[in-house]
Structure 1
Amino acid sequence: MPHTSARRRAVHRSLALGVAALAALAAAPSTPPKPLGIGDRLFPYLGNPGYDVLNYDIGLRYHGNDRPLDAVTTISARATAGLHRLNLDFTHGTVRSITVDGRRASFATADQDLVITPRSPLRSGDRFKVVVRHTSDPRGPARGGWVRTQDGLVMANQANAAHRVFPCNDHPSDKAGLTFRVTAPKDLTVVAGGHRLSRHRHGAQTTWVYRSGHPVATELAQLSIGRSTVVRHTGPGRVPLRDVVPTARRAELDPWLRRTPEQLSWLQHRLGRYPFENYGLLVAEASTGFELETQTLSLFEHDLFTTAKLPRWYVESVMLHELSHQWFGDSVSPRSWSDLWLNEGHASWYEALYAERVGGPSLEKRMRAAYGHSDAWRAQAGPPARLKAADPGHQVAIFQPVVYDGAALALYALRQEIGRPAFERLEREWVRRHRDGTAGTADFIRLASRTAGRDLSGFLRPWLYGTKTPPMPGHPDWKPTAEDTAAGTPKPE
């Protein structure tokens, strides 16, 4: 996810909660509506049981970033259980009407859930379509979702804020197709993740349609509305590159945009072909304090590229961090939020390798420093694969140093244990095997063991789940002795 400004920067289903949730959905509609979840350990009420989303089609009409957008969200899904009711995650908007398969449905709100009662119950295996007519409000406290820029809007939905923008099954384990249909004043440019299908001008308005070519987790959806220029070029392997930048800033940003082809080539050499239809940087004139790996169109603060005190190697390594997420986190998404280390640890690993290449500290120096802080990080936030839950209302606090350099440290230990050739084979096979899907920590341990030709669970589990940092193979002199004064600073990504 994003780097904080300091750094510039599932499903672990609970059986009891899952059974109770499905029972509630199958219950007679006379029972009071209540919020449900899929039992994610860190976000118990995120996501919804009983169905699998196949596609989102989201229509929006923009009136300015200080007014609610008019919206129609169409969800195509398949029931995985018999449903008298179904829940969607949604808040921070007004629902006007809902239909299920073309028939008017009743609805109620329960905490941050929208509870829908169809005219007729859904049977397991049924495909169905829900149409929600609503507003989407960009105003209010900055808790994720819409981000207001100087001239429009962008999205930052990680970790659990997509449902502040549109009704959805807001959990990365339920990836789906995604189409945006956006109408805005004709002097504005609209860009979303995926391919542009059409642009049609009608009077003073223009309607833009974009569709993703691959499944998308709701937290990775991206849409930009503003006075922007789209800069197009071609990357290695003929990957289309398109950057979205403030029109007035294009010239000063161009040298940074030109770094992407070399970075893409560097990662493809290590991980195999780029997993999506295109890539680009979305540079926003807004103060976010982070950068974000939204699918095919990574979000960056303008200040990252213009703050003079930031060394060039650092800025380039942050760009590389978000690009590497297209493999780790976007193409291969976490099955639960406890698997976040698979995203951030890998992105931090390749960031560290690349920083060494472009003038930053050596990998070994960075890993030794992380080892010194590791016990303090674990005490503060939990081990990499078993984070402590964040306080309600501050969910981005799960993005702690232990899932960044702390998790990269575990990958370094694994490379030390099995050797560089086996480690590099593992990395390529991981992103190939789970492309366009979800995977968890247990999957990684199994594949690492298969790649190494021996059971690595006894080695990896202490690194991923232990409260204390294990000895580092090859470095018996490394000691986790440093007190980490920034251990409580979240690194939202």
Structure 2
Amino acid sequence: MRKNLYLLLFAPLVFSLTVKAQQPGATIDVQHYRFAITLNDADNVIKGQATITAKFLKAASNFELDLAKKNSEGKGMLVTALKENGKALKFTQDSDKVIINTNAIAGSMHSYIITYQGIPTDGLIISTNQYKHRTFFGDNWANRARNWLPCVDHPADKASVEFLVTAPARYKVVANGLKVLEKPLPGNKKLTHWSETAKLPTKVMVIGVADFAVSSPGSPGGTPVYTYVFPEDKEVGFKSYAVATKILPWFVKKIGPFAYKKLANVQSKTIFGGMENAGAIFYYEKSVNDKGIEALMAHEIAHQWFGDAISEKSWEHVWLSEGFATYMANLYLEGTYGADTLKTRLAADREVVFSFEKKYLAPVVDSTFKGTMISMLNANAYQKGGWVLHMLRRKIGDEAFWRGVANYYKQYNGGNANTDDLCVVMEKASGANLKQFFAQWLRTAGHPQLKITWDYNVAGKTVAIHINQLQEKPYQFSLECSVDGKLYKWDVKALATTFSVPAASAKPEIKIDPNVNLLATFAE
């Protein structure tokens, strides 16, 4: 999700839901969702019938699903019936849950049919686009699916999903997976059925319903790529979104097979600049004219591997989604346009990290975070997470880095991982002990603050470069330095370190970190 460049457009919006750690001892593991949703143009009421197939992880007499109840303003979902095998079950609704009374033994599989309706408070954005045309767009990140879908609204519970959307016939519908049915219904309506067999977290399950112009710019590697844009933007949108056919195969070659059977890139009306919904990425309305569309699309397409196929086990590990997408987009741009492009982007990202730390000093893996969900989308998760991956790449080398990334994807595709899981995979790929590296960059707040001075030895024709770490505890890192055009690389572990190198004159040309490989500040 590319929040940093574009979410400022939506700054007044605030989420009240705060971060919740993964709940230990979950009762169920959802295997499959089947959501039948009816939309209309007369009002914003949606009618839903959800069939939820779940495996019980332990014996239980009841279990909970997330669903926002109708509030005092009349918005929210009201459950009208709940059945298993045609038999009505007792249930209760509180503000954010449906509690279902049912007897189940550990390991048993059950399917429940929940009938409900209401006006979504969030999650499904019913609005009008910039051309004043009515639109419906799912927008579930992070745990906003509960506002229109009964579900286990946490990334650790992944399931396959179907959407059966009944809507006025003039709309086109896009969703996760493949379209398996589209047929007219009486009353000038239409049923569209999409099905995704891969396991997804609810945060990336969506529908998009609007008057779309649709094109297919190509099928790289056999994966069909589609463009969905508003008809008024058809010419520019088809052209700008077509770059996806170049981005997708680059990541496939580097990381591994694409997890989904199609990739749709969709002009939308939601709150984010880009949202990585699995196989159906949503972009903000004006993205079709965005000069940075290639970078934005690279970020969101990278998410299909990191965040979608591999999801974080709990929210404090969100950098595994956003940091990966940030750095993978940078790597794509480096591979496409050269090393200087990467250096420029890293230098800019580094300044964003330092600016953010002045406002909020915390580790990337922030287990004590108490803010709103939206506040987790910050420079720690994006730019610093990306920088950590860059330094890891430089530490273990390109070959081991890409081998580790591919192995990480192969091992956790369709499941969940946390930071320690990544560390183990990268240690195996590189043969190096990376625990200290992960601890200092991801579980420690701040960064190295360096003061570097030098003096010249006339007799020895050498220059002594003094590296002093100004923060309380020393970091361990590699520092590159160019002296008269020759590059040196030193391992620094102490608060004060000196290295001497040959120099032809008393005024050598010295450049610290010339290749932008260290996340540090350099004091004069």
**TM, length-normalised to structure 1:** 0.83
| Corresponding residue of 2:418 | 440
Q: Partners in 2 of 1:261 and 1:194 — Cα distance?
A: 18
1:250-329 alignment, distance < 5 Å: 250-284=234-268, 286=269, 288-306=271-289, 312=291, 314-329=292-307
Q: Partners in 1 of 2:282 and 2:190 — Cα distance?
A: 24
Where structure 1 has 5 or more consecutive residues not aligned to the other structure, the ranges are: 10-40, 484-493
| Corresponding residue of 1:182 | 165
Native 8 Å contact 1:136 1:164 kept in 2: no
CA positional deviation for 1:373: 4.8
| Corresponding residue of 1:38 | none
The answer to whether 1:133 aligns with 2:111 is no
- Matched AA of 2:381: V
Native 8 Å contact 1:445 1:460 kept in 2: yes
Q: Partners in 2 of 1:202 and 1:147 — Cα distance?
A: 22
Native 8 Å contact 1:146 1:165 kept in 2: no
CA positional deviation for 1:104: 1.1
Q: 1:122 aligns with which of 104, 115, 128?
A: 104
CA distance 1:479–1:275, shift in 2 (3 Å):
closer
The answer to whether 1:352 aligns with 2:330 is yes
CA positional deviation for 1:315: 1.9
The secondary structure found in structure 2 opposite 1:206 is strand
Give CA-to-partner distance per residue, 1:180-239, whole Å, 9 cap, x none: 111111111112110111112122111111100311111101101111122224322111
| Corresponding residue of 1:389 | 369
- Matched AA of 2:107: G
Native 8 Å contact 1:53 1:176 kept in 2: yes
Q: 1:160 aligns with which of 137, 143, 147?
A: 143
| Corresponding residue of 1:50 | 27
Native 8 Å contact 1:107 1:116 kept in 2: yes
**TM, length-normalised to structure 2:** 0.78
CA distance 1:425–1:319, shift in 2 (3 Å):
same
| Corresponding residue of 2:462 | none
Structure (1 or 2) with the larger CA radius of gyration: 2
The secondary structure found in structure 2 opposite 1:212 is strand
CA distance 1:7–1:361, shift in 2 (3 Å):
farther
The secondary structure found in structure 1 opposite 2:200 is coil
CA positional deviation for 1:359: 8.2
| Corresponding residue of 2:45 | 68
Where structure 2 has 5 or more consecutive residues not aligned to the other structure, the ranges are: 10-17, 69-75, 448-474, 482-511, 513-517
| Corresponding residue of 1:210 | 194
- Matched AA of 1:166: L
| Corresponding residue of 1:404 | 382
Q: Partners in 2 of 1:210 and 1:445 — Cα distance?
A: 37
The answer to whether 1:104 aligns with 2:104 is no
CA distance 1:98–1:479, shift in 2 (3 Å):
closer
Q: Partners in 1 of 2:272 and 2:436 — Cα distance?
A: 38
Native 8 Å contact 2:364 2:380 kept in 1: yes
1:367-386 alignment, distance < 5 Å: 367-374=346-353, 377-378=356-357, 380=360, 382-386=362-366
Native 8 Å contact 2:176 2:280 kept in 1: yes
Q: Partners in 2 of 1:305 and 1:359 — Cα distance?
A: 25
| Corresponding residue of 2:59 | 82
Native 8 Å contact 2:123 2:148 kept in 1: no
Q: Partners in 1 of 2:479 and 2:398 — Cα distance?
A: 13
Native 8 Å contact 1:191 1:225 kept in 2: yes
CA positional deviation for 1:453: 0.9
CA distance 1:157–1:65, shift in 2 (3 Å):
farther
The answer to whether 1:146 aligns with 2:125 is yes
- Matched AA of 1:126: S
Native 8 Å contact 2:4 2:378 kept in 1: no
Q: Partners in 1 of 2:6 and 2:207 — Cα distance?
A: 26
| Corresponding residue of 1:487 | none
- Matched AA of 1:459: F
CA distance 1:74–1:430, shift in 2 (3 Å):
same
CA distance 1:238–1:259, shift in 2 (3 Å):
same
Q: 1:473 aligns with which of 475, 478, 482?
A: 478
Native 8 Å contact 2:267 2:288 kept in 1: no
Native 8 Å contact 2:137 2:270 kept in 1: no
Native 8 Å contact 2:403 2:429 kept in 1: yes
The secondary structure found in structure 1 opposite 2:156 is coil
Q: Partners in 2 of 1:270 and 1:44 — Cα distance?
A: 32
| Corresponding residue of 1:25 | none
CA positional deviation for 1:144: 3.9
| Corresponding residue of 1:247 | 231
Q: 1:194 aligns with which of 148, 156, 177?
A: 177
| Corresponding residue of 2:14 | none
